[in-house]
Amino acid sequence: MNEKLAETLRQAAESGGMDKLLGFVVDEASGDGIRGHLTITPDHHQPFGIVHGGTYCAIAESAASISAFCWVQESGIGGTAVGVNNSTDFLRSVSDGDITVTTTPVHRGRRQQLWQVDMVDDQGRLIAQSRVRMQNIAR
């Protein structure tokens, strides 16, 4: 990743927003995917003591958005990308621990991108999986 892109991502992370609220940290990012993590706290729970599904949806949207943004920058298309569809399957419930988030490109085109987002627990078990479709937007 080039320095300008790294600085843009760093500034976005420091500015606050949903990722900061959820505690989502991006460890590695490129147009080929990201790797990130978050530690589950009671703030992520729904009323029955397990992670709220919206947490996974929000993390998937952020992870795919960062991946898509990196790709449009690295590919020379430029601009940014915004989410237009997010489908998340909740496969295993958890109430604590660390979650690792990775993205994999399914399709990267001139107008749209499709990303798979895998979220695994600290034992490597898949707990949620998303497909997020992104629209490339010229700036």
Q: Any alpha helices (H) in 15-118, and if so which ranges?
A: 18-22, 53-75
Average pLDDT of span 6-35:
86
Q: Would you say 137 and 124 are in contact if contact means Cβ atoms under 8 Å apart?
A: no
pLDDT digits (tens, 9 = 90+) for 74-117: 999 999 999 999 999 999 999 999 999 999 999 999 999 999 99
To the query of whether residue 3 is one of the catalytic residues in this protein, the response is: no
| Whether the model pTM is above 0.85 | yes
Alpha-carbon Rg for the chain in angstroms: 15
Q: From CA 79, how far away is CA 72, in angstroms rounded?
A: 7
The per-residue pLDDT of the chain, averaged, comes to: 94
Q: According to the model, what pLDDT value does residue 92 have?
A: 97
pLDDT at 114: 99
> Which one of 14, 28, 61, 74 is the catalytic residue?
61
Q: What is the DSSP string of 88-109?
A: EEE-S--SSEEEEEEEEEEEE-
pLDDT digits (tens, 9 = 90+) for 31-54: 999 999 999 999 999 999 999 999
CATH of the domain spanning 3-137, picked from 3.10.129.10, 3.30.360.10, 3.40.50.1970, 3.40.50.720: 3.10.129.10
Query: What pLDDT was estimated at residue 17?
Result: 87
pLDDT at position 40 is 98
Which of these, 74, 73, 128, 139, lies nearest to 103 by C-alpha position? 128
Task: Kindly indicate the confidence band of residue 12, based on its pLDDT and cuts at 50, 70 and 90.
Answer: confident
**Domain positions in the chain:** 3-137
Per-residue burial over 95-123, b if 16 or more Cβ lie within 10 Å, else e, is eeeebbbbbebeebeeeebbbbbbbbbee
> Distance of alpha carbon 53 from its chain centroid, rounded?
14
